[in-house]
Amino acid sequence: MEVNWFQVGITLLGSLAIFIYGMNLMSDGLQKTAGEKMRKVLSLLTKNPLIGVIVGALTAVVLQSSSATTVMVIGFVSAGLMNLPQAISIVLGANIGTTVTAQLIAFKVGNYLWIFILIGFILHVFMKKENWTNAGQTIFAFGLLFLSINIMGNVMKTIAELPEVIQFFMSVKEIPVIGVITGALITALVQSSTASIAVLQNLASQVGPDGVSSVVGLQAALPIIFGTNIGTTITAVVASVGAPANAKRTAAAHIIFNVTGTFIFMFFISFYCRMVQYISPAGLEYEVISRQIANAHMFFNIINTLIFLPFIWLLVKIVMKIIPSKDTDKLPSQPHFLDYNIIEQPVFAIHLATKELLRIADFALQMIKDVKKAFLANDSEAIKEVFKTEDIVNNLQEETVKYLASIFATDTLTEHQGNIVSGLIHIASDIEHIGDNCINIAEFADEKIKNGYEFSDIACAEIYECFDQALRMTRTTIKALEEGDLNRAKDLLVQEEEMNRTEERLKRQHIKRLYDKSCSPEFTVMYTDIVHNIERIGDSCKKIAEAVLSDIQFKENNITNKEFKDAI
């Protein structure tokens, strides 16, 4: 019977495409369902590397990829939110977490794939609540994974009969390094060790010429499994290009971990083969080899992690030696936290955007301090600093809004997170408005210095009072945003009302001084405009507080204030 190899090739590639799509879809669904909890998981990080390994494993299970987890970690290291030892411990754990899918395949969960597809479809299409639709997407994608595996299995029966395939795996048994190279290249190509292992499990489950053995055999499968762990590091390497030294070191640690583990295990292939067979179910090889491959993949990463865990400090020293710190400090006008590599993980991208907004708010706070000094102390240098900082604030605000807008384009964004992103975009504008008000006051300060204007002591004291209120409100705003502190946010509303009353009181007092002729009329416009601009700084702080407290944006989606706090 003549085989249509074009049809075989297309079916194999198509089923692999469905597998990768299903895996990404399941990852999206898991992130939408559990994404808000992932920030809490990361908050467990301590100096204890074992906790880091557990966090890495859990994160990889949700993201369905050790590569995606490593890329996320590189982003956090680049932003200075995670140190190198913490990052390495998470990477070690991610390698374990990514083996879960292979175990599910081995347990033949695919026998029930149509149940998963049907239930997932019903939940995703017909349920109203977002949590149910996200769960439906995850379940549907789970079924899709096994549908692709079943299709792949039928194709593998044809491929397994090829003499060239049988000869190739015989060569791998004799020269294991061929298997390592093959596994690494295929994984680097498809950008997924899980997909590579799934293909290997399907092929290995085909019966060999003797009707009993697997066409692959466990001894030939092991080097390929080791190679997939090397190939999966390519994603992290690409993500670290152009990143700070510590990010490159994290990627290097990932490579060293997997390459060294492979090198060690290659000396014990026969022993490891017997060990895997011992811990796996008994039976005909082609019937149990999928379980053996899943176990070999999992225990390779577990044992490798246990070997490296006590020596993370040494691994840190090695990567620091290999990649010396040649980083030049980022310019103040450059974003320090925004990382487009993790834009597909909105819960983390939102966290980074919030950190950048806090940094912009710190610049705005400095502008208030400088413009206060410029006006009250007639300091021309302080005026220059205000204008210089304004350029920084404008650039950072533009970049952050662009980054936040990019998050909207991700398929993994929940409606909850969409509301948060929308609120952060408004907050970015409000922070920028604080800078604009400072510029207005700086222009008055420049005019005052050039014309030699002298305000009365009482007027200067009143303006000083206003500035102090604005500084206090801005500091409270930064804390409220940073900590999601609802009490501080509510206090800001009270402070803003007080600021309004102060403006009205000072205007009345100024008019009284005009009547008493204790103040010059030519300064009236400048005085009232300065006080009004300071009051507008308070308005911006109030709007940011309202974004933190906002019931309109988050209540409709059943998000409590506590959940919003956790999200940012």
Q: Hey, how many other C-beta atoms are within 10 angstroms of the C-beta on 168?
A: 15
**Helices 486-516 and 524-549 meet at what angle, rounded to 10?**
170
C-alpha distances out from residue 455 to 62, 102, 373, 551, Å: 63, 76, 15, 44
What's the helix, strand, coil split of the chain in %, to 5? 80, 0, 20
* Sign of the C-alpha dihedral computed for residues 257, 263, 269 and 271 taken in this order: negative
Q: Which residues of the chain have pLDDT under 50?
A: 1, 551-568
Q: Is the pTM of this model over 0.75?
A: yes
Check residue 330 and report its DSSP letter: P
Helix runs in 452-523, H state only: 457-483, 486-516
d(CA 548, CA 554): 10
d(CA 514, CA 516): 5
Beta-bridge partners for 207: 214
Angle 176-93-406 from CA coordinates, rounded to 5°: 105
Catalogue all structural domains in the chain, each as residue range(s) with its CATH number: 5-322 (no CATH), 340-567 (1.20.58.220)
Pair of tokens at residue 235: 């994603």
Pair of tokens at residue 100: 């879960």
Give the residue from 140, 134, 148 showing the smallest Cα distance to 116: 140
Residue positions counted in the chain: 568
Q: What is the pLDDT of residue 562?
A: 44
- End-to-end CA distance of the chain: give it in Å, rounded: 62
Pair of tokens at residue 451: 């014309």
